[in-house]
Amino acid sequence: MKRYQNLLLVAVIAAAVQITGCKPKGATGVAAGSAEKAYVAPGKYDEFYNFVSGGFSGQMSVYGLPSGRLFRVIPVFSVDPEKGWGYSEESKPMLMTSNGFVPWDDLHHVSFSQTNGEIDGRWTFGNANNTPRVARIDNKTFRTAEIIELPNSAGNHSSPFITENSEYLVAGTRFSVPVGDNQDVPIASYKQNFKGTISFISIGKEHGEMDIAFQLLLPGVNFDLSRAGKGPSHGWFFFSCYNSEQANTLLEVNASQRDKDFILAVNWKKAEEYLKAGKGVKKQVRYAHNKWDEATHTAKHEIRTEVTVLDPAILKDICYFIPCPKSPHGCDTDPTGEYIVGSGKLAAVIPVFSFSKIQKAIADKSYDGEYGGIPVIKYESALHGEVQKPGLGPLHTEFDANGNAYTSFFVSSEIVKWNVKELKVLDRVPTYYSIGHLSVPGGDTRKPWGKYVVAYNKITKDRYLPTGPELTQSAQIYDISGDKMQLILDFPTIGEPHYAGSMPASLIKDKSLKIYKLDQNKHPYVTMGEKEAKVVREGNKVHVYMSSIRSHFAPDNIEGIKLGDEVYFHVTNLEQDWDVPHGFAVKGALNAELLIMPGETSTLKWVPEKVGVYPFYCTDFCSALHQEMQGYIRVSPAGSNLPLTFSVGKQAAPDSTKK
């Protein structure tokens, strides 16, 4: 009977999910007069930077809050022809993996570096959900500075969550897979052969360099989301897991059987001790580590071959499972670090666990047996309490500084505010529609700034002008400064937003880089000034040392290229002024443009396939005479003996056409 009820609940919720939830009808949701709270006058700055994941676009976008104005799309895991990311010779290595060049991924979560549990503004991290990787973005340049791949992992979803002094980022695998030497096993042998792993990525104190410190080998469940402990729970990590049924097919039914799945509590300080004591096992693997070098304006790609694995089924006091109703998604720790909120997608309550009770349960061995060799703490022994009747389909929870939690409900399309200690629902507002994540500035840290909660919605039917079969995804900003949440603005987003984070503009704004200093440019093919511009042939490789400055290239006439040549345009932007990039594009190139920042060198590879004279030009409207910023390159037949020549400002004599 119980099982039948479960199936019924699943069916009801699945049906509700398909019709995209209970849509609030009619109203725009904005009360008169409240929209001006989102108004930032022309020429004025926003109060917060909002970094938003781009989902299946693979990128991250940066908006202002509360205006919702889009400032920048940062290319991370996907090629971006607008900025030449993944097209320039310098940036191609950033997208290399152990599988080769991967031009796309699925970025779900963002995370900021922290010091003492507060956002410090230095770096932003993002996860690749498909080919498991984590990226670090330098907040000074708004550019992806480093990408590390994760071996023994398949689908890096519970990532990249961070500890309160940026000791580690975690990356838990969504899909369990066979790991180890023999991976050619029947899918039906899931229960015997499939394993999940969680990677702990260390972050260099000064420069943020990422390295895989260790991995935990875990039962074959799906790890979904995660949060680090804070304050008293610093040293611990909490992960939601579903599919504790270990189904290998039709998960929508087969992974919804059990009444409770788990939250996994990980004592990473303990793991560190075991690591020091030499209890880790070194495994031979292959994974990419790619890093951008600011001096050479070039990425380096390397393959690393070793990782250390700890087995918590043997090293008993690293991991503990806590039962959590039902297919939990979000797993969020409150600012005090005492409370851990599990959000079961199919659960009728929100369970709140207590860190101190978890510690006591472990001390008292208040267990309900084991799962995959890991102790299972009794539900009641870990539980602080349950929020009753909160809504349908809880997904994620963020916090303000006053002891309140804000939980998103996908199925009932709403945000519900409740008090963490008392577990009382205080307020609810509709979202338009089917909210996924939500975000309060600093709402996942020890110091939330409160003020707003931003909803990231999956569906926007009827909110925007139609654009064919697909409509924009969107964000909605709610003012949470009063007792009642108040919708103040909708704005469309790029890709599908999953998680996002915000921080006060003051943490980044004055440190933001304005130019790259030309005299510090260590690119091997830099052109320091126009006099150094030249073209050099090395066999069939032709290196063009080109400079760009308002409003010409040097050289801008090149002859003596032959079919079969590979031409490398190394373009240095000589400008030393803020916001004066130059672009570079060649007719017919099987490539994107370059967009070269002041003081930077970028390289476009071009293999001409037809004889002719090809124009190239600057693509970025840089000056009044931008339209004049152009040149020609002549390509002759393979056997031609035309010498290689180049020039700028050499105007042909009136009669030169006669020769």
Binding site for ligand RUQ (CB under 6 A): 108-109, 157, 225, 329, 395-396, 436-437, 498-499
Q: How far is CA 618 from the centre of its chain?
A: 31
Task: Report how far residue 405's alpha carbon sits from residue 394's, in angstroms, rounded to the nearest whole number.
Answer: 12
Residue 322: enclosing H or E segment and its boundaries?
Answer: strand 319-325
Among candidates 264, 363, 273, which has minimal Cα distance to 315? 273
Task: Report how far residue 546's alpha carbon sits from residue 561's, in angstroms, rounded to the nearest whole number.
Answer: 15
Dihedral Cα 318, 322, 327, 333, nearest 10 deg: -80
When the beta carbons of 55 and 178 are compared against ligand RUQ, the nearer one is 55
Q: How many CB atoms lie within 10 A of CB 281?
A: 13
- Three-state SS across 536-554? EEECCEEEEEEEEECCEEE
Please identify, among the stretches 37-45, 286-294, 458-466, 618-626, the one whose residues bind ligand CUA according to the rule CB under 6 A.
Answer: 618-626
Rounded to the nearest whole angstrom, what is the least distance from the CB of residue 329 to ligand RUQ in the complex? 6
DSSP 8-state class, residue 469: B
Buried b (16+ CB within 10 A) or exposed e, 386-424: ebeebbbbbbbbbbbeeebbbbbbbbbbbbbbbebeebe
With beta carbons less than 8 A apart as the criterion, state whether 211 and 166 touch. no
Please identify, among the stretches 84-92, 111-119, 120-128, 615-623, the one whose residues bind ligand CUA according to the rule CB under 6 A.
Answer: 615-623
When the beta carbons of 500 and 596 are compared against ligand CUA, the nearer one is 596
Per CB under 6 A, the list member of 459, 592, 629, 633 interacting with ligand CUA is 629
* Alpha-carbon separation of residue 539 from 536, 543, 570, 613, 634 (angstroms): 10, 11, 17, 21, 18
- Binding partner of residue 498 among ligand CUA, ligand RUQ, none, CB cut-off 5 to 8 Å per kind: ligand RUQ
618: contact with ligand CUA by CB under 6 A? yes
Task: Report how far residue 272's alpha carbon sits from residue 291's, in angstroms, rounded to the nearest whole number.
Answer: 26
Residues 6+ apart with CB under 8 A from 398: 332, 405, 406, 438, 439, 440, 443, 444, 448, 453
When the beta carbons of 458 and 552 are compared against ligand CUA, the nearer one is 552
- Per DSSP, the three-state class of 650 is coil
Task: Report how far residue 210's alpha carbon sits from residue 277's, in angstroms, rounded to the nearest whole number.
Answer: 23
When the beta carbons of 171 and 589 are compared against ligand CUA, the nearer one is 589
When the beta carbons of 398 and 593 are compared against ligand CUA, the nearer one is 593
- Binding partner of residue 499 among ligand RUQ, ligand CUA, none, CB cut-off 5 to 8 Å per kind: ligand RUQ
When the beta carbons of 52 and 571 are compared against ligand RUQ, the nearer one is 52
Rounded to the nearest whole angstrom, what is the least distance from the CB of residue 613 to ligand CUA in the complex? 21
Mark residues 492-531: x for contact with ligand CUA by CB under 6 A, - for none.
----------------------------------------
When the beta carbons of 329 and 384 are compared against ligand RUQ, the nearer one is 329
Rounded to the nearest whole angstrom, what is the least distance from the CB of residue 457 to ligand CUA in the complex? 38
When the beta carbons of 508 and 618 are compared against ligand CUA, the nearer one is 618
Q: How many residues line the site for ligand CUA (CB under 6 A)?
A: 8
Rounded to the nearest whole angstrom, what is the least distance from the CB of residue 584 to ligand CUA in the complex? 9
- Binding partner of residue 626 among ligand CUA, ligand RUQ, none, CB cut-off 5 to 8 Å per kind: ligand CUA
170: contact with ligand CUA by CB under 6 A? no
Rounded to the nearest whole angstrom, what is the least distance from the CB of residue 435 to ligand RUQ in the complex? 8
- Binding partner of residue 629 among ligand RUQ, ligand CUA, none, CB cut-off 5 to 8 Å per kind: ligand CUA
For ligand CUA, the binding residues in 553-592 under the rule CB under 6 A are 582
622: contact with ligand CUA by CB under 6 A? yes
Among candidates 618, 594, 602, which has minimal Cα distance to 83? 594
Please identify, among the stretches 36-44, 319-327, 382-390, 621-629, the one whose residues bind ligand CUA according to the rule CB under 6 A.
Answer: 621-629
- Binding partner of residue 195 among ligand CUA, ligand RUQ, none, CB cut-off 5 to 8 Å per kind: none
When the beta carbons of 109 and 451 are compared against ligand RUQ, the nearer one is 109
Rounded to the nearest whole angstrom, what is the least distance from the CB of residue 177 to ligand CUA in the complex? 49
Task: Report how far residue 659's alpha carbon sits from residue 655's, in angstroms, rounded to the nearest whole number.
Answer: 8
- Binding partner of residue 297 among ligand RUQ, ligand CUA, none, CB cut-off 5 to 8 Å per kind: none
Length of the chain: 659
- Binding partner of residue 108 among ligand CUA, ligand RUQ, none, CB cut-off 5 to 8 Å per kind: ligand RUQ
Among candidates 462, 486, 485, 484, which has minimal Cα distance to 474? 462
Per CB under 6 A, the list member of 620, 631, 636, 646 interacting with ligand CUA is 620
Please identify, among the stretches 56-64, 331-339, 343-351, 620-628, the one whose residues bind ligand CUA according to the rule CB under 6 A.
Answer: 620-628
Q: Which pair of structure tokens corresponds to residue 74? A: 């940062």
Among candidates 622, 623, 624, which has minimal Cα distance to 597? 622
Task: Report how far residue 536's alpha carbon sits from residue 547's, in angstroms, rounded to the nearest whole number.
Answer: 15
Residues that bind ligand CUA (CB under 6 A): 551, 582, 618, 620-622, 626, 629
